[in-house]
A = this chain, B = another copy of it.
Amino acid sequence: MSEYVGDLNSAQLELSGSALRRPFDPTAHDLEITFRLTRFADLKGRGCKVPQEVLNRLVSSLQQDFSTQDESGFMQMSIPRIGIGLDCSVTPLRHGGLCLVQTTDFFYPIVDDPYMMGKIACANVLSDLYAMGVTECDNMLMLLAVSTKMTEKERDVVIPLIMRGFKDTALEAGTTVTGGQSVVNPWCTIGGVASTICQPNEYIVPDNAVVGDVLVLTKPLGTQVAVNAHQWLDQPERWNRIKLVVSEEDVRKAYHRAMDSMARLNRTAARLMHKYNAHGSTDVTGFGLLGHAQTLASHQKKEVSFVIHNLPVIAKMAAVAKACGNMFQLLQGHSAETSGGLLICLPREQAAAYCKDIEKQEGYQAWIIGIVEKGNRTARIIDKPRVIEVPAKD
């Protein structure tokens, strides 16, 4: 592996085109074989958010000061479940009918591969724009905190890889990283800001669901389960809890599928929302499929509710989740996802075409997971939802 050492291109080598990436090898970068990026924070990925009910109380004293528009952005981004369902803030500008559509997000390492972590962080921030049907990002800023616990060597290897991954995904999205802020902090932190200036017709306000629409999901669930199961390979006592339902190989495949999925842009999904007249969309992240479905439902103009029948899940992760009791609540729709898919309301007659089109363009499946019926703006998952096992891409 000597051709690797200390060389940024090693990250590129490790990235074998797309799906199945060569596993990150710390020793290939002169790091201890035991190096784990995810150990530089006690909370993982979107599990780092201030609990919704807490933030709700913290900001309640401010709410009366926010106009609905202000509130929308502020609420949704800090506490998505009570937001008005916009994944971005939308600000009318002083110039010719334009709007600033903007979002920010940052969190802690969720995978051990620094380059992939950078890509995931970038895709995750951009996903908020894509959920609004915005396909062009005009500018990105990178937010980075180097862990005080990293050795100089670890820092010098890991941080450039994270930056490179973030930047590569930004380029893939047709945008650039023009700034940022970097600090030192006990926990390694990575995130960004995505901004677009656009005409009102470039974004889709997610409040037009009508009875008869169907719900489409563009990425499988189970990223949180997969990254945890993968970490348990190092932890016998945890591993013993799940080894009866899953093999090491299954877990490694699921982990790579999860990384690939989290690093994938929802940009094509957003583009096709326009082509197939989507009635609204949100992206599935920290509050799980049901949490975000409820947010979306609660802000529809018409009296509708969402009913979810199917749960596409990364292969074997439903079994792992079950084996862990109530830990993940994956089948209840509460398992946090990072850089998850778009949950989209589409006219019934368009949904199949949407799914076919995205698969044709990207080689990734999308699934019809539920329906929109008359109701009181809530969302639920049926009693025994059908679990669709989504195999690793290889």
Enumerate chain A interface residues (CB-CB to B < 8 A): 8, 42-43, 48-50, 54-55, 57-59, 61-62, 65-67, 69-70, 72-74, 76-79, 88-89, 91, 93-96, 98, 100, 102-108, 136, 138-139, 141-144, 146, 148, 155-156, 159-160, 163-164, 167, 176-187, 189, 191, 193, 195, 197-199
Contact = CB atoms under 8 A, between A and B. Distances in A.
B58 A160 contact: yes
Contacts of A55: 182
Contacts of A61: 8, 160, 164
Contact of A183 (B98, B106, B159, B179): B106
Given A91-B138, A96-B96, A193-B104, A74 B160 contact: no
Contact of A102 (B76, B108, B139): B139
B102 A195 contact: yes
8 contacts: A49-B184, A65-B167, A77-B180, A94-B136, A100-B195, A183-B189, A185-B187, A195-B195
Nearest to A136: B94
Contacts of A67: 176
A104 B179 contact: yes
B185 A73 contact: no
A193 to B, nearest CB: 5
Q: How many copies of the polypeptide does the oligomer hold?
A: 2
A43 B184 CA distance: 9
Contact of A180 (B104, B107, B179, B199): B104
Contact of A96 (B72, B95, B163): B95
A238 B304 CA distance: 65
Given A61-B164, A143-B143, A185-B187, A178 B93 contact: no
A387 to B, nearest CB: 31
B102 A70 contact: no
Contacts of A148: 42
A98 B94 CA distance: 11
A103 B164 contact: no
Given A91-B178, A185-B186, 9 more contacts: A49-B183, A70-B176, A74-B177, A74-B179, A77-B181, A89-B179, A104-B179, A108-B183, A185-B187
Contacts of A142: 74
A324 B71 CA distance: 47
Contact of A57 (B8, B156, B184, B189): B156
Given A94-B138, A184-B43, A178 B73 contact: yes
A73 B179 contact: yes
Contact of A89 (B57, B72, B139, B198): B139
Contact of A179 (B102, B177, B186, B198): B102
A72 B180 CA distance: 11
A48 B179 contact: no
